[in-house]
Amino acid sequence: MNILIIGSGGREHALAWKIRQSAHVKRLFCAPGNAGIAQVADLVPLVVDDVAGLARFARDERIDLTVVGPELPLTLGIADEFQRHGLRIFGPTRAGARIEGSKAFTKELLRRQNVPTGFFSTFSDADEAVRYVHEVGVPIVIKADGLAAGKGVFICQTVKDAEDAIDEVMRTRIFGDAGERVVVEEFLEGEEVSFIALTDGHTVLPLASSQDHKRAFDGDTGPNTGGMGAYSPAPVVTPALHARIMAEVMEPVVHGLRDLKLDYRGVLYAGLTITAAGPKVLEFNARFGDPECQPLMLRLKSDLVQLMDACVDGRLNEVRIDWDERAAACVVLAAAGYPGNYEKGKVIRGLEALRGWQNGVVFHGGTAQRDDAIVTNGGRVLGVTALGPTVRDAVTEAYLAVEQLHWDGIHYRRDIGYHALERHT
């Protein structure tokens, strides 16, 4: 098979690394990729939102399967375009991708399906949103309705914080058109967890549990980011809780999408808070999490291409999924200033020392090749991902590898996995 991966982050490097291991792969391409992906795939100089160009490339190169990494091309309708040309693609249609592209759409879907989530209201007028905050009180959560690269969520402890968030999203438009509407919703107390599954619109095949770290700094402080680290499994997801999430969240949502006549095939990712009353949905995404994908791919024993094929072909009920019993942990190394402004072009040192690393992989995110050096080219630069008998062992192994890497302005959290470690795992 000729396979094309769309994207350029750590998630896409992890997918490329895993897909390359499949005996079904003849040629592997990635558009646009990064310096790490270039070691396992041929890079294609096309950006992720060039839907027509990507479809043309897939036709010309006789691509048998295209795997979409990020959410943007999905919300732009890349699956629809590929399907129009008879091309096989792993990812939902534009209508299905609204589950990530519009938080208001998702909250209404959850309400219709009686899926547990926080109370909410949606506003197109900033003044009305502010009045609602005064009515319901704080703490409260303000969310830009559209895509904001994981940064459009504001947890507000004071009314002033909420007013400022609404002003930034709706009036200043720091997220552009994503801020045309806001969702104002209940702040849920509890531990957050990522529950990621594959679905062909009928069968739901859950992946191993995982947990990420959204805040920029230790102790879950600082601004929201795309994710500063992750691990799998998440001990908070016990077998009983896993069954409950499947029955109360995942299955009803897939049924709800089908009732709306949406042909949803791909990844369905629930961001959950485990409250005292049980799991409640924070959000849904239409793709693999980044960085959750990195530890998941390290633990996955099954052939990823076979799983994706079954998903696209509507026969997910015919396959099973096998996992390495070991845990995995990913520590994200970021550029100074991320998620705000940051510099690019810093030379990364220490990668050669980890080339033969037996217990993990350094996945590239924002990197580029410049002459003989690999340099920083984004906010989240590397995802140092390790395996170990327990989460504690995996985290320890990852941080030992981190110590060998450096560039001017490197930043990372030093408490990845602390929820699991508190459970002595």
Mean pLDDT, to the nearest integer, of 153-178? Answer: 93
- List the beta bridge partners of residue 186: 140
Task: Answer whether 225's CB lies under 8 Å from 338's CB.
Answer: yes
Task: Answer whether 324's CB lies under 8 Å from 301's CB.
Answer: yes
User: pLDDT, tens digit, for every residue of 38-72?
Assistant: 999 999 999 999 999 999 999 999 999 999 999 99
Question: In the chain, which segments carry CATH 3.30.1490.20?
Answer: 119-186
Mean pLDDT, to the nearest integer, of 66-94? Answer: 97
**Does the pLDDT of residue 345 top 80, yes or no?**
yes
pLDDT, the chain, mean: 95
- Which pLDDT belongs to residue 148? 82
User: pLDDT, tens digit, for every residue of 169-179?
Assistant: 999 999 999 89
Residues with Cβ < 8 Å from 370, sequence gap 6 or more?
345
Mean pLDDT, to the nearest integer, of 227-233? Answer: 97
Mean pLDDT, to the nearest integer, of 336-350? Answer: 96
Q: pLDDT confidence of 424, banded at 50, 70, 90? A: low
Task: Answer whether 361's CB lies under 8 Å from 21's CB.
Answer: no
Q: Which of 349, 210, 233, 357 is nearest to 291 (CA)?
A: 210
Backbone angle region of 59, left / alpha / beta, with phi > 0 → left and psi within -120 to 50 → alpha = alpha
Task: Answer whether 270's CB lies under 8 Å from 247's CB.
Answer: no
Instruction: Residues 327-422: name the CATH superfamily.
Output: Phosphoribosylglycinamide synthetase, C-terminal domain (3.90.600.10)
CATH architecture entry for 191-318: 2-Layer Sandwich (3.30)
Task: Answer whether 80's CB lies under 8 Å from 93's CB.
Answer: yes
Question: In the chain, which segments carry CATH 3.90.600.10?
Answer: 327-422
Mean pLDDT, to the nearest integer, of 222-227? Answer: 90
At 375, the amino acid letter reads: V
Please provide the distance, in angstroms rounded to a whole number, between the alpha carbons at the two ends of the chain.
Answer: 40
Question: In the chain, which segments carry CATH 3.30.470.20?
Answer: 191-318
Mean pLDDT, to the nearest integer, of 14-32? Answer: 98
- Which pLDDT belongs to residue 149? 72
**Does the pLDDT of residue 423 top 80, yes or no?**
no
- Which pLDDT belongs to residue 335? 98
CATH 3.40.50.300 fits 119-186, yes or no: no
User: pLDDT, tens digit, for every residue of 103-148?
Assistant: 999 999 999 999 999 999 999 999 999 999 999 999 999 999 988 8
3-state secondary structure of 13: helix
Question: In the chain, which segments carry CATH 3.40.50.20?
Answer: 2-93
User: pLDDT, tens digit, for every residue of 295-335?
Assistant: 999 999 999 999 999 999 999 999 999 999 999 999 999 99
CATH number belonging to domain 2-93: 3.40.50.20
Mean pLDDT, to the nearest integer, of 265-278? Answer: 96
- Percent of the chain at pLDDT > 90 equals 94
The predicted model scores a pTM of 0.94
Question: What does residue 186 show for φ and ψ, rounded to 5 degrees?
Answer: -60, 140
- Which pLDDT belongs to residue 147? 86
User: pLDDT, tens digit, for every residue of 360-415?
Assistant: 999 999 999 999 999 999 999 999 999 999 999 999 999 999 999 999 999 999 99
**Does the pLDDT of residue 420 top 90, yes or no?**
no
